[in-house]
């Protein structure tokens, strides 16, 4: 039995859906950031797998995956520092308590 690209597509899709569910349903800002990390992770798995199956010689998808790793590392760092700055100001990291702009 050989593992095809379809198996990786299914795995990445499932991981992305779980991350999307977490990102949209959680009320803690940190949990939302962790779920975003899950989604970015799913995309990276797909990039690495597709490159291994389709362009093994030039490894194009691997470079995409490396740059995507860089961007999501920067994103999680900025996101967490934003959560910290927000926590200093309003003393909470709960997203549904941030309702200053709510009419």
Partner 1 sequence: MPDVNPVAFVVLAALALGGAVMTVLTRNVVHAAFWLLEVLVATAGLYLVLSAEFIALVQLMVYAGAVSVLVLFVIMLTLRRREDSVRTRDLSWPVAAMSAVLAVAIAYVTRALPVPAPERAAQPDVAAFGHALFTRWVLPFEIASGILLVALVGAVWWAGRGEEL
Which positions lie near partner 1, rule CB under 8 A? 1-7, 9-11, 13-22, 24-28, 30-31, 33-35, 37-38, 41, 44-45, 48-49, 52-59, 62-63, 65-67, 69-71, 73-78, 80-85, 87-89, 93
For residue 53, the minimal CB distance to partner 1 (Å) is 6
For residue 102, the minimal CB distance to partner 1 (Å) is 19
For residue 95, the minimal CB distance to partner 1 (Å) is 10
Tokens of 73: 């590392």
For residue 90, the minimal CB distance to partner 1 (Å) is 11
CB closer to partner 1, 40 vs 103: 40
List Cβ neighbours of 12 (8 Å cut-off, separation of 6 or more): 42, 43, 45, 46, 49
CB closer to partner 1, 70 vs 103: 70
Q: In 27-66, which positions are buried (b, 16+ CB within 10 angstroms) versus exposed (e)? A: eebeebbbbbbbbbbbbbbbbbbbbeeeeeeeeebbebbe
Tokens of 1: 């039995």
């Amino acid at each position: 039995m050989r593992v095809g690209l379809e198996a990786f597509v299914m795995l990445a899709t499932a991981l992305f859906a779980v991350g999307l569910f977490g990102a949209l349903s959680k009320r803690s800002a940190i949990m939302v950031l962790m779920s975003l990390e899950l989604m970015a992770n799913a995309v990276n798995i797909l990039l690495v797998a597709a490159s291994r199956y389709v362009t093994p010689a030039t490894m194009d998808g691997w470079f995409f995956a490396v740059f995507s790793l860089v961007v999501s590392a920067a994103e999680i760092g900025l996101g967490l520092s934003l959560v910290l700055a927000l926590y200093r100001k309003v003393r909470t990291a709960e997203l549904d308590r941030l309702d200053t702009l709510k009419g």
